[in-house]
Chains A and B, each alone.
Chain A
Amino acid sequence: MFVQLLINTLIVGSGYGLIAMAFRLMYSVSPFFNLTLGAVAAIGAYVTFYLISSLGFNPASAIVLALAFSGLVAWSLEAFVYKPMRDNGSSAMVLLVASLGVYTIFEALIHLLFGAQYQTLGTINLSGQIDVWFAEIPLVQVITIVSNALIFIGLSWFLEHTFLGRQIRAVNDSATLSHIIGMNNSRLIMIVSVLAGLILGLAGILVGYDTGMEPTMGFNLLFKGMIGAIIGGMGSLSGAFLGAFFLAFAENLGVWVFASEWRDVVAFVIFITFLYFRPKGIFQKKVKN
């Protein structure tokens, strides 16, 4: 049923949207395919899990702490690993490979600490469904949809109307130029990476509640978010937001028409086709490169 397809697109697309926006945000100050962002999302989920199950925190404070931790991790990685490497002259390719190494380490650590078993954050306080028009959507997903929308609106306003936001856009357009003008890049990078970390942590936690978590969850989440951001157009936040929905739609259409098992193939074929024919994304924005 087409309605089912749309609802699922909305749900899945919101999940991807969070990652896509975080990725897009991070890319503007640290322009390379940072695979560790996936690990940040996984960390958000697992820290929450640890706090609730082993240390007995209540969910609300566990989530807040986990989010803070995710932001911290995202910032530390950028400040202590990637920025120094970039300042030292490493190319985007080198950074990509380094981030792959770091991601592998994180995934193995999570595996060691929590085991390979699939875990779920449980539905203790997030069970229940909400009736929305003609369908029932589980609460977790409603939260995902709403968070995604709120974050999009919030970030867009932030980028457009605050001084900091304009600085971020300026760095995105030309890092060297903005450096010359004298903007304090490292403070900017810190704020952006913490922000991205928070969003990623949130995404991880929501996934943890909805479909559960495993040590390998980060990689796939990141890839999907990255694809969404790229096909939407790397030039803008709205590109990431809409691209994520587009990806979700294409994937689910593929599942509907063919079968679930081809889901990833559809996603990647769409990705490669888009990059091939419209490398600047669906919503092309004039980006000076």
Chain B
Amino acid sequence: MKQKIILSLILSALLVGAAWWHFRPRPEVADNAKPEVKIGIIYPMSGDGAVYGEAAKAEAEMFFRDFNNASSCCSYKVIFEDNQLKPSRNAAIAQKLINLDKVDVLVTFLSDFGAVVSPLAEQNKVLHFSIATDPAVASGKYNFMASSNVEGEVQKLYDTLNQNLVRNIDVVIVNASGPQSVLDHLEKLAQKEDGVKIGRVHHVNENEKDFRLLLGKIKQNNPDYILVLLTMPAIDAFMRQYAESKIAIPVTGIETFTYLHDKTLAEGMWYVDSAAPTPEFLEKYQAQTGSRTTNDAGYLDLILQAVTTGYEGAQTTNRDKVADYILNNFNNAETAIGPVQVNPDGIIDGEPVLKIIVNGQIQIMGEE
């Protein structure tokens, strides 16, 4: 009994202490002339997605180091939070950011996570930018999406395959939201148009490492091309086993080879990628942070550019007006991923691009 009491007391003390620490009265920050704009950025900062979170953090720091002094309207503050790659945690964190930290802008990463936040953002009239592919994430006035332009990617792949006189393809796809939305678009397109057709679709789970039988099945089916929509870590295992199987059928992908750990496994292969960080951006990132970036750091840069453009342009902290400004004035802006389009729904995307692996490096086709 005594044990229980002591334990409960310790626990209550911890809880009370934590609550006090968070709600403690803080001295008023000296008033600058500039109003503060708070940006809450939710990323996986630990676990499987940590590499994206780290890149995002580096990117945000880099962006505002350059920007803060040049701003005429506001002083920007960035708050990073870790969602541990769980949608339910994302919702909880968004609540905290909106209600406790009183952010003006939320940034989320991936459709599953953006989806949870969009209704909250709309409800609370908080600007929300998501690096996602599902249009539902951008629904509502305050919700925006920086998209990899799935539709554009799929169209480019389709056109390229048709140009190469490919008649049918087999698809290897992992059960995850990104690849799934690519496949949905592709199936619709293939049905509508009269070009390349989809043969068999082979679904695998995220933890799959053994593709040998699957490759045997594909060999039997004998399509003209194999479209691989896998992510890390499956893609490395697949490409290795593909090489071992000595199948003569060529392989391509959408965003796929960007995820390859060992890019020489895709030597000489072409694929479609989303609008990618421009060489200028890559150089700047490399110089300032000393490491290579992830693709979506470029998208984050674009979002931060959009946000600051909105505030600077509207010269107000009224989020309604900022949203309007972005919708009306960001079209054709030059960003870290090149020129972007903004559609009335708040979807911002760039042009997809054909890439090829040369000497283990990704290169944009036509620029080798």
Contact = CB atoms under 8 A, between A and B. Distances in A.
Contact of B212 (A4, A115, A129): A4
A255 interface: yes
Interface in B203-262: 203-205, 207-214, 216-217, 220, 232-233, 236-237, 240, 244, 246, 261
Contacts of B320: none
Contact of A118 (B175, B216, B233): B233
Given A111-B47, A129-B244, A260-B211, A118 B236 contact: yes
Interface string B298-327: 000000000000000000000000000000
A263 B216 contact: no
A113 B223 CA distance: 44
A4 B216 contact: yes
Contact of A115 (B50, B209, B213, B246): B50
Contacts of B50: 115-116
B48 interface: yes
Interface residues of B, number: 28
Contacts of A214: 233
B51 interface: yes
Given A256-B217, A260-B202, A260-B205, A212 B233 contact: yes
Nearest to A256: B213
Interface residues of A, number: 29
Interface string A245-272: 0000000100110011101100000000
A255 B214 contact: yes
Interface string B146-171: 00000000000000000000000000
Given A212-B233, A214-B233, A261 B204 contact: yes
B178 to A, nearest CB: 16
B23 to A, nearest CB: 31
Central interface residue in B208, B210, B233, B246, by most chain A CB within 10 Å: B210
Contacts of B202: 259-260
Contacts of A181: none
Interface of A: 1, 4-5, 8, 11-12, 111, 115-118, 120, 123, 129, 136, 138, 211-212, 214, 216, 220, 252, 255-256, 259-261, 263-264
13 contacts: A4-B213, A5-B216, A8-B210, A12-B210, A118-B236, A118-B261, A136-B246, A138-B244, A211-B210, A212-B209, A256-B217, A260-B202, A261-B203
